[in-house]
Structure 1
């Protein structure tokens, strides 16, 4: 099976523009950027609860503590929320009326929360509608890891961010691209 496409900034912008034309634009943007800025698996995104992300005073937390039941490998981990994601999550929260900590963070049209499968289908339809070929629900995760590698973040740190037990798995996520090769050659 082919790996999910790593998106360029231009392609991500294209997806965000398309998502803004659909129902629930604030939710769509927050969902997409959660994938691209946190690098979570689709099941981890679907299993997020309001209390995982929002403090009791309504502010966005600095980190998400994923429980073993929320992760693929059954190992709890901490995910740090970058400052540039917080305003997107805050904007989305203004559209939510229910404030209970145990409700799913992202809502659907018909139900309170996504299942991992329904969110995977949502991402597939989003990329297809935006005209991005080869992208999947894993594209945000691969794009984040590749982007951080491009910026010189070490593979050990990338493995922790991704929740991988092995750096060999993390290395498979990193796309060698022209920017990376140019930067490497400029080190000579």
Structure 2
């Protein structure tokens, strides 16, 4: 069953236009690298926000105010970066109860427990009976960085970063906000929306569009197996990957257009 309000799958033309319009705004090197990582590696916005320089490049020694680097062939994404993980204490999420589900057996057991406590005059707090929150498991994955446009974007961006600050550490965040601090997932999510919706005027595009576009391309256009897509996406269950088998909006639009003409005599 597909989710409602899914992120837009970009066409090649929309992706090319996004890259071109980025050049008209500030920090084109950084923004191009952000978009390339999202669309070519399918990283979640939290994973991108938590990337460090050492994840994508080896830094050389600083010499005469200059610093060399070498891009890695494979991005080894740690499990701590993945969905639901409290990576580096920079992405802590708060959970507020809005809905609770019980099985019939557990509900009957809970009612009897409350009855016993009430008869004994014990204090009863609703939150003490909430079921345990299921936490997402992190999953590490190795992603080859062999796409030419991706490597060029990263090289241009890192060259720009090191030219302005040769003393960077390998553990420094890969991407910084215009204020000079690391991105939070929420801030980066808003930045992706800004670039795609306002700059490129692509409706319903979001920080998840890159990930969904890549997965849709792998499953629909390349006809790769679900197992390959699952490995790239870092999904624990293949059932999650199967969500991306939903046809993209462009396929639906083409089908409706063709069907409409078939009724014309």
Query: Which runs of 5 or more structure 2 residues have no equivalent in the other structure?
Result: 61-68, 84-136, 256-265
What's 2:213 paired with?
143
Whole-Å Cα distance in 2 between the matches of residues 164 and 175 of structure 1? 17
What's 2:261 paired with?
none
Secondary structure class of the residue paired with 2:176: coil
Greater relative contact order (CA < 8 Å, ≥ 6 in sequence): 2
Whole-Å Cα distance in 1 between the matches of residues 70 and 245 of structure 2? 33
Specify the structure having the higher radius of gyration (Cα). Answer: 2
Larger deviation: 31-40 or 71-80? 71-80
What's 1:59 paired with?
70
Larger deviation: 118-127 or 74-83? 74-83
What's 1:2 paired with?
5
Whole-Å Cα distance in 2 between the matches of residues 67 and 121 of structure 1? 24
Alignment pair present for 1:159 and 2:159: no
Counting only pairs closer than 5 Å after superposition, residues 18-167 of structure 1 correspond to structure 2 as: 18-57=21-60, 58-72=69-83, 73-84=137-148, 85-97=150-162, 98=165, 99-129=168-198, 130-149=200-219, 150-167=221-238
Larger deviation: 31-40 or 94-103? 94-103
Provide the aligned C-alpha RMSD in A.
1.9
Secondary structure class of the residue paired with 2:75: strand
Whole-Å Cα distance in 2 between the matches of residues 11 and 174 of structure 1? 21
Once the two structures are TM-superposed, the CA of residue 88 in structure 1 deviates from its matched residue by 1.3
Larger deviation: 52-61 or 37-46? 52-61
Once the two structures are TM-superposed, the CA of residue 94 in structure 1 deviates from its matched residue by 1.2
Once the two structures are TM-superposed, the CA of residue 148 in structure 1 deviates from its matched residue by 1.4
Secondary structure class of the residue paired with 2:212: helix
Secondary structure class of the residue paired with 1:21: coil
Whole-Å Cα distance in 1 between the matches of residues 72 and 49 of structure 2? 18
Does the 8 Å CA contact 1:37/1:82 hold for their aligned counterparts? Answer: no
Aligned residues: 181
Whole-Å Cα distance in 1 between the matches of residues 74 and 206 of structure 2? 25
Deviations 1:123-148 (A, max 9, x none): 11111211000111000000001111
Query: Which runs of 5 or more structure 1 residues have no equivalent in the other structure?
Result: 183-188
What's 1:185 paired with?
none
Secondary structure class of the residue paired with 2:182: coil
Whole-Å Cα distance in 2 between the matches of residues 112 and 74 of structure 1? 25
